[in-house]
Amino acid sequence: MAAAERHVPATPPAPVAIAVESVSKAFGAVQALVDVDVRVRAGEFLSLIGPSGCGKTTLLKIVAGLVPADRGRVSVGERIVWGPGPECSVVFQDFALLPWGTVQRNVEFGLLLRGVEAGERAERARRAIAKVGLAGFEAAYPAQLSGGMQQRVGLARALAVSPRVLLMDEPFASIDEQTRRVFQDDLLRLWSEERKTVVLVTHSMEEAIYLSDRVVVLSPRPGRVHQVLDVPLPRPREAGDVRGTAEFARLVDGLWKILRKLQ
Amino acid sequence: MVPALRAASVVGFLLLWEWAARVPISFNFPSPWATVTALLALVRSGALLEATAISLQSLLLGFGAAVALGVPAGLLMGVVRPVGRVGRVYLDLLIALPTAALVPLVILSFGINILSSAVIVFVFSAPFVTMNAYGGVRDVRPRLVEMARAFDASWWQLFSRIVLPSALPMILAGIRYALSRAFVGLIVAELLLSPFGLGRLIMTARSMFEHDRMFATVLWTLMFAGAALAAVARLEARLLRWRA
């Protein structure tokens, strides 16, 4: 039911979780983003897609507070973003795990930095590890895990701090296809249980359509919002065979037609 | 396989040594047996342990200072980039130059005493400690720093939770290498100019043509250095268990 609520336009409309207002960013002479406006609704799953050089990762980092915008304004919930804040967690493409820490220590890391005391830290990390399906691997080191499992650790670390917003930077890009599909379904299941707002940067059209409520297409050099696509596929998608439906194929093809013109 | 090969290499070395003593390859060349006998006599007389205790003072003082000052200096160079750029030049000089040439200068400044041996040990070893600590900080994966920043880490948290553990393998490798350099510096100092400890024992035996005692002392020094290096290597393996 939670999933259905998201798609029936509620009255009053769901509060905006993230507002990106006329944001511009240049790196030296290179204009990465120009006048970007994106609004993400609370509980929404939104993807950013576009050719390389469209600034999708830069946009994600601006929302995360890791990169300052040159102009414009970003707010997450009530907070204007000046730097990293407690509502957001980031999941990185290359996992960014501490090689010297066990799974448990890695998942505790965000809690540790935020000053959560040891007992509670261990308990919350254990729960997050179980949630991503890694119970039993608490004592393993990252080097002993497969790429897919390492990213599950990255996701658990992000979830452990109980963020309202999950920012994911091509989280599945370094994971093999079979593992990726299982992981995507697990992510959808977690998302519908936890009711987080998710912003996902991806270069995979199938992934964007399969996971998202809306897909924001960015055009390159300079990065601008080119188009915003609604994905009216029914949820929960992870239970059925959504990838095999004609509607899914039609949406992916539509996205491809948009992206092809941007290359 | 490996233990057998190791044992065979030791036996082979002893046989070669024995052969060299029987030829003999030089005047009064001591056999392994004569050397071991001399070593036991030296240990029993207390002369060797006394000399070792004196050398150990210079070593601990010089090497301890090299670690205690060298690691923070390298970390500072890595964290504050301008300091790194300036400091690098001196480090390169200290590493590239024949450090033994500094021995007379050190003696001139500090006199002939244990302190000057310690200073030479320091000069021999500290640049490697600092260089590795510096390199370790520079090799920190920027992504890990970004990850910690995303959790709103403070400067101190970034340093202690990301930079320091990232640099630890290189810091420890630097310390281990610096220890072997410290032994070189110690013996160079004691042989060349400040007659104390093991170096003095070697020199005295040599001047009396007691070559078996001289060899025994050299052998002892090697075992001493080997044991110290093995201890540091064990500490390293223990601290870096996650790499296994």
pLDDT at residue A262, rounded to an integer:
85
Of B169, B58, B170, residue with least CA distance to B124: B58
pLDDT at residue B208, rounded to an integer:
85
pLDDT at residue B229, rounded to an integer:
94
Range of the domain at B213: 58-243
Low-confidence winner among B47-61, B115-129, B192-206 (lowest mean pLDDT): B192-206
Contact assessment for residue A223 and residue A58, using Cβ atoms and an 8 Å cutoff = yes
pLDDT cut 90: percent of chain B above it: 63
Distance between alpha carbon B193 and the CA centroid of its chain, in Å? Answer: 19
The mean pLDDT of A39-55, rounded to a whole number, is 92
The string of DSSP letters for B144-183 reads HHHHHHHTT--HHHIIIIIIHHHHHHHHHHHHHHHHHHHH
Establish if B24 belongs to a structural domain.
no
Residues B100-143 have pLDDT tens digits of 788 888 888 888 888 888 999 999 999 999 999 999 999 999 99
pLDDT at residue A41, rounded to an integer:
93
Please count the structural domains in chain B: 1
- CA–CA distance, A156 with A99 (Å, rounded to integer): 16
pLDDT cut 70: percent of chain B above it: 99
- CA–CA distance, A151 with A133 (Å, rounded to integer): 11
The mean pLDDT of B22-30, rounded to a whole number, is 83
The C-alpha R_g of chain B, in whole angstroms, comes to 22
Which residues in chain A touch residue B150, judged by CB atoms under 8 angstroms apart?
64-66, 84, 88-90
Q: Is the Cβ of B156 closer than 8 Å to some Cβ of chain A?
A: no
Establish if B18 belongs to a structural domain.
no
pLDDT at residue A255, rounded to an integer:
95
- Banded model confidence at residue B193, pLDDT cuts 50, 70, 90: confident
- Amino acid at residue number A28: G
CB-nearest to B152 from A84, A94, A101 is A84
* Residue B220 tokens, joined: 């002892």
Task: Give the ranges where chain B is alpha helix by DSSP (H).
Answer: 2-22, 32-45, 47-79, 81-96, 103-110, 114-138, 142-150, 155-157, 164-192, 197-207, 211-239
What is the pTM (predicted TM-score) of this model? 0.86
- The reply to whether residue B161 touches residue A64, judged by beta carbons under 8 angstroms, is no
The answer to whether residue A2 scores a pLDDT higher than 60 is no
Establish if B103 belongs to a structural domain.
yes
ipTM of the complex: 0.89
pLDDT at residue A14, rounded to an integer:
62
- CA–CA distance, A226 with A219 (Å, rounded to integer): 6
Mean pLDDT, chain B, integer: 91
- CB-CB neighbours of A53 under 10 Å: 14
Q: Is the Cβ of A66 closer than 8 Å to some Cβ of chain B?
A: yes
- Cα-based distances in Å from B80 to A209, B89, B130, B149: 46, 15, 14, 18
pLDDT at residue A4, rounded to an integer:
43
* Residue A236 tokens, joined: 């929960």
Give me the CATH number covering residue B139: 1.10.3720.10
The string over B41-59, giving b where at least 16 C-beta atoms fall within 10 Å of a residue's C-beta and e elsewhere, is ebeeeeebeebbebbebbb
- CA–CA distance, A198 with A60 (Å, rounded to integer): 11
What chain A holds in terms of domains, given with CATH numbers, is: 2-16+23-87+164-262 (3.40.50.300), 97-162 (no CATH)
- Banded model confidence at residue A46, pLDDT cuts 50, 70, 90: very high
Establish if B71 belongs to a structural domain.
yes
Establish if B208 belongs to a structural domain.
yes
DSSP 3-state of A224: strand
Q: Is the Cβ of A58 closer than 8 Å to some Cβ of chain B?
A: no
- Amino acid at residue number B126: A
pLDDT at residue B200, rounded to an integer:
87
Residues B145-179 have pLDDT tens digits of 999 999 999 999 999 999 999 999 999 999 999 99
pLDDT at residue A13, rounded to an integer:
55
The answer to whether residue B211 scores a pLDDT higher than 50 is yes
Establish if B186 belongs to a structural domain.
yes
The mean pLDDT of A233-257, rounded to a whole number, is 90
Establish if B5 belongs to a structural domain.
no
Q: Say which residue the tokens 């040891």 belong to.
A: A118
The answer to whether residue A236 scores a pLDDT higher than 90 is no
The mean pLDDT of A118-140, rounded to a whole number, is 95
Q: Is the Cβ of B158 closer than 8 Å to some Cβ of chain A?
A: no
- CA–CA distance, A208 with A139 (Å, rounded to integer): 34
